[in-house]
Amino acid sequence: MEWSAVIVAAGASSRAGAGPRKPWRRLGGRAVARWSLDALSAAGAGRVVLVVAPEDEALAAEVAGSPETCAVVIGGATRAQSVRAGLAALSDAPAASAVLVHDAARPFVAERHVRALLDALEHADGAVPALPVSDTLKRANATGETSTAAREGLNRAQTPQAFRLGALRDAYAAWEPGDGEPTDDAQVVERAGGSVVLAPGDPMLMKLTYPEDFTMAEALARSASVTRVGHGFDAHRFGPGDHVTLCGVRIPHGQALIGHSDADAGLHALTDALLGAIGDGDIGEHFPASDSRWRDADSAVFLADAMARVQARGGAVVNVDVTLICEQPRLSPYRQAMRERLSALLDLPLDAVSVKATTTEQMGFTGRREGLAAQALAVVQLPA
């Protein structure tokens, strides 16, 4: 069945404590919203729409990546308004196709959840993953006195929720302002007379709400992934020029590094480290020196391609460590700038980026100042 996804990430995150809003906090090395985006894309979503608050549009565009794979749209003051904005971005999708509406704050959605929902949708207008209520339910009155409520037949609804796209569009169009705010999308379809069935829920579809939820989610993220380490090495000789470029930073020097691209040995080594972590060849395979397109190219292009390959596998970079080996130029004044540049290129916090410099005590080609070398390590988490 053809299907699209709407990821709702426009909420205020008022109960999540200090820091960025929930969709943009890091979990297992990547933004919370990125977990759902990667999972739904890998499960076969034809299109993904990420709905965000106006002030988060630029940040969301960085997290989402290419507009061809994920469209970023602005949401509204309520969740229902945000869902409507997401559906509007799918205006040209067939009414008979399916749409999955998902909360970005539930990062552990997986292909098995999608398959169960689409199967359930074969004979209904909507399908909702749900868990039976297992705890005793207590209702408190205004004075704090409690009574016990029956829990038979009660379920906890989760997301993603799947619908026939046309049915959900029509149901939202029929929802009147006097009806109040729906608590989920299934309620909108139910109110319009549509049929909604339950699919198996999963405790892994937990919603991140409070600060302590992130501690638990971090542990789950580690248990649901494998850690890979990649190593890269590169070297370039010196030639005529007035600067070198290392880790994306221009450094004045009496010579330049000679190479087909900008000869940024730091970024070349780091690119190979990322490719090594996912077993996807090396920089020479993807960007051969025989290809004129890469003559004098900014090596950030190579690193971005390696990052995209990691993300396409549902992976995330945890930390990187680059060592630059040379007698000259003196690199310590530029270390912080290089760290900051790598932090921006990799979307990593600064404390996950290390850049070091050393010499070979005047031994070998670097000791003779014929050129410089770089080596890099990258730690990547991939789905188990």
pLDDT score of 102: 98
Mean of pLDDT values over 269-291:
95
Non-local (6+) Cβ contacts of 4 within 8 A are 45, 46, 47, 48, 49, 90, 93, 97, 98, 99, 100, 165
Average pLDDT taken over every residue of the chain: 93
pLDDT at 159: 97
Burial (CB < 10 A; 0-12, 13-18, 19+), residue 288, is exposed
Strand 26-27 with 316-325, pairing:
unpaired
Compute the average pLDDT of residues 339-351: 94
pLDDT-derived band at 64 (thresholds 50, 70, 90) equals: confident
pTM (predicted TM-score):
0.68
Q: Supply the pLDDT for residue 314.
A: 74
Q: Residue 13, Cα to own-chain centre: how many angstroms?
A: 18
- pLDDT band at residue 16 under the 50/70/90 scheme: low
Burial 54-84 (b: 16+ CB within 10 A, else e): eebeebbbebbbeeeebbbbebeeebbebbb
Mean pLDDT of 230-240: 97
Q: Sheet of 316-325: strands edge to edge?
A: 255-257, 225-240, 371-383, 316-325, 353-358
CATH 3.30.1330.50 segments of the chain = 225-383
- 11 against 302, higher pLDDT: 302
Average pLDDT over residues 64-74: 87
| Start and end residues for every CATH 3.90.550.10 domain found in the chain | 3-223
For domain 225-383, the CATH class is alpha beta
Determine what percent of the chain is predicted with pLDDT higher than 90.
81
Which stretch of 80-94, 181-195, 209-223, 341-355 has the lowest confidence by average pLDDT? 209-223
Q: For the segment 136-183, what is each residue's pLDDT rounded down to a tens digit?
A: 999 999 999 999 999 999 999 999 999 999 999 999 999 988 889 999
3-223 has CATH 2.40.37.10 classification: no
Confidence label for 13 from pLDDT (cuts 50, 70 and 90): confident
> What average pLDDT score do residues 197-223 get?
90
Average pLDDT, integer, range 41-64: 93
